[in-house]
Amino acid sequence: MIHKNIVCPVCGAACDDIQIEIKDGKIETKNVCKMGISRFKEITSPRRFKQPLLKFGGKLRPVSWDGALQIAADILTSAKRPLIYIGSETSCEAYEVGLMIGEYLGAIVDTVGNGAIVMGTQEAGKVGATEGQKKNKGDLMVYWGTNPLESMPRQMSRYGVFPRGYWTKRGRFDRTILTVDPRKTLTAKASDLQVQLKPDSDYELVSALLTLLNGRVPHHSVEEITGVSVHVMEEMLDLMKNCNFGTISVGAGLSSSPGKYRNIEIAMSLVKELNKYSKFTLGIIRSHCNAAGFSQVASYMYGYPFGLDFMRGHPRYNPGEFTTVDLLREKDIDAAFVICADLLSQIPPDCATYLEEIPLICLDTIPCPTTSLSDIVLPGVIDSMECEGTFYRLDDVPVYFEPFLDSPFKFTQSNEDTLKQLFEKIKEKKNQDSIFQDSVFPFTYIDDLKTQNCSSRSYTSSGQLSF
C-alpha cells in the first residue's frame, strides 16, 4: 500500500507531499531528499531503541517501562534546579507537556538554537510571508548566511526558486537569486549574483546598504572591512529596489556572526526600508523540523519564546542566564532531561564535561553521543510516521500530520504520551514527598515511642527531638 501526503520530520521545510511504500519490511520513498531518506529509514533501523534503558555498572541495560519512568521522576523531583531541554524533532503537543512539567517542577525549559533569530525578531518585529506567497509572487530571493541547497534541499524546488507560481509562471526564469555568503556554496553557485563578503562583516555590509539607501555614500573603509565594493552594493540595492516581491532568507550564518541578534535586527531594518520601494519580506531558513514550533508554543503558553525559568513559580526569561550553555557553564543545574535532541553535539566541551557529571535522562529514537552519557534512556516514537501531531514550518505555518504506522511500543503511543505518563509519575512522587513531609513529625514521634519507650520528649521549633 502506498501512503501519500506524509509530512517529513527532518528540516523546517516540513514537506507534506512524501509518498511511502513498505514492501517486505523495506521502505521505499518518493519526493524525499537525501536528508529525509535517512530519517525514514530509522523506522526499520536495527540501531533503534526498542525498550527503556538504565545505566548500571557503566552500561545501559534494559529496564521495565514503569521502573524507568519512576527513576526519571525521582531524579527530576529530587533535583533543586533541573533543566528540560526539548529538541526540535518532536511535536508541538509534546512541547506543551514538556513545558507544563517544567512549570510544575520549577525547572528551566529551553530548546535548540535559533535564539538569536528570535531575539532579533523581538527587537525589530518581522515583515514575513508564507512560502506559498514567495512561490506565487516572489521574483527576488536573497539567501543571506544560509545554504538551502544543502541544509534544506527542497526549499528552492518547492517554494523559493524553481516552482511556477501565479505571477511567476516561468519559474526560475522569472526569479533572480542573490546570495550573500563568505563561502562558495552550492546555493551561491546556482545564484545570479554572489556577494562573497569577508567572514563576520555582515553587520557592516547591511549598515552600508542602509546608508546607500538613504542617499549617502558609506565610509570608504567599509570596502576593506566587508571585502565588497560600493559598486557591488549599489548593484545589490538596484536588484532589491526594482523587484516586485523580494525576500531575504536568513540563516545561522547571519545570526551566529559577531553582532548575533543585532544582525537580524538590522537586516529587518533594511527590509522595512526596502518596503518604501517594493514589497519586501524576511524569512528564516530553519534547518530543524519543528524549530519554529517551540517559540510559538512557549510564547502562547507563557509569553516567552525559549529559555524559560520557572524556579520562582512564574516564568522568567533572560537569554544568557537561563539558556542551556550558560546554565551548564555556570554549573547552575543539577539534573537534565533531554528530549529528542543530541545536546552533547551542540555545546562547548566545558559544558559537555559538566553534563557528564549530573544525572541525565534522554528521550530519543536512536543512539547518539547524548544517549551514551545518559543514566536513563526512554525510547522515542517518530513523529509524523508513528503518531499524529503538529509541526510549525519554517514560515511559522502549522502543519498537522497523521501517521502511516502505529507506535512500535505497547507502553507508549507518542512522545507526548511518554511525557504525560512521566508527568503523572512526577505528580505522584511529589504528592508522596509532601505527605511524608507533612507526617514526618507524628511518624518519627510514634517510632521513637515504640523503640525507646520514652514519653518525656518534646520537639524544638526546628523539628529536632529533645529530651
Binding residues for ligand SF4, per CB under 6 A?
8, 10-11, 13-15, 32-33, 35-36, 152-154
Residue 423 Cβ vs ligand SF4, minimum distance, rounded to whole Å: 30
What distances in angstroms separate CA 372 from CA 109, 341, 343, 349, one per listed residue? Answer: 22, 13, 12, 16
| Rg (alpha carbons) of the chain, rounded to whole number | 26
Strand pairing category for 398-401 and 389-392: antiparallel
Alpha carbon distance 338, 89 (integer Å): 12
Residue 36 Cβ vs ligand SF4, minimum distance, rounded to whole Å: 3
Residue 33 Cβ vs ligand SF4, minimum distance, rounded to whole Å: 3
Residue 26 Cβ vs ligand SF4, minimum distance, rounded to whole Å: 19
Residue 134 Cβ vs ligand SF4, minimum distance, rounded to whole Å: 15
Q: Note whether 94 and 86 are within 8 A (CB).
A: yes
Q: Which is nearer to ligand SF4, 6 or 355 (by Cβ)?
A: 6
Residue 368 Cβ vs ligand SF4, minimum distance, rounded to whole Å: 18
Q: Which is nearer to ligand SF4, 154 or 262 (by Cβ)?
A: 154
- The residue type found at 206 is V
Q: Note whether 108 and 80 are within 8 A (CB).
A: no
Residue 81 Cβ vs ligand SF4, minimum distance, rounded to whole Å: 36
Task: Tell me how crowded residue 330 is: count the other CB atoms within 10 A of its CB.
Answer: 11
Q: Which is nearer to ligand SF4, 32 or 351 (by Cβ)?
A: 32
Alpha carbon distance 119, 124 (integer Å): 9
Q: Which is nearer to ligand SF4, 338 or 385 (by Cβ)?
A: 385
Q: Which is nearer to ligand SF4, 13 or 240 (by Cβ)?
A: 13
Residue 2 Cβ vs ligand SF4, minimum distance, rounded to whole Å: 17
Q: Which is nearer to ligand SF4, 218 or 389 (by Cβ)?
A: 389
Q: Which is nearer to ligand SF4, 52 or 160 (by Cβ)?
A: 160
Q: Which is nearer to ligand SF4, 10 or 268 (by Cβ)?
A: 10
Q: Which is nearer to ligand SF4, 34 or 59 (by Cβ)?
A: 34
Three-state DSSP class for residue 368: coil
292 φ, ψ (degrees, to nearest 5): -75, -25
Q: Which is nearer to ligand SF4, 251 or 359 (by Cβ)?
A: 251
Residue 385 Cβ vs ligand SF4, minimum distance, rounded to whole Å: 12
Written as nine digits, the cell of 65 is: 517501562
Q: Which is nearer to ligand SF4, 152 or 426 (by Cβ)?
A: 152
What distances in angstroms separate CA 6 from CA 15, 87, 402, 405, 425, one per listed residue? Answer: 8, 21, 7, 11, 34
Number of H helices, E strands in the chain: 18, 21
Alpha carbon distance 205, 192 (integer Å): 19
- One-character DSSP codes across 391-413: EE-TTS-EEEE--SS--S-SS-S
Residue 283 Cβ vs ligand SF4, minimum distance, rounded to whole Å: 15
127 φ, ψ (degrees, to nearest 5): -100, 105
- One-character DSSP codes across 90-105: S-HHHHHHHHHHHHHH
Residue 137 Cβ vs ligand SF4, minimum distance, rounded to whole Å: 22
In a 13 Å sphere around the CA of 168, the CA atoms on its Cβ side amount to 27
Alpha carbon distance 465, 467 (integer Å): 7
Cα end-to-end span (Å), the chain: 79
337 φ, ψ (degrees, to nearest 5): -125, 110
- Length of the chain in residues, anyone? 467
Q: Which residue has the cell 514527598?
A: 433
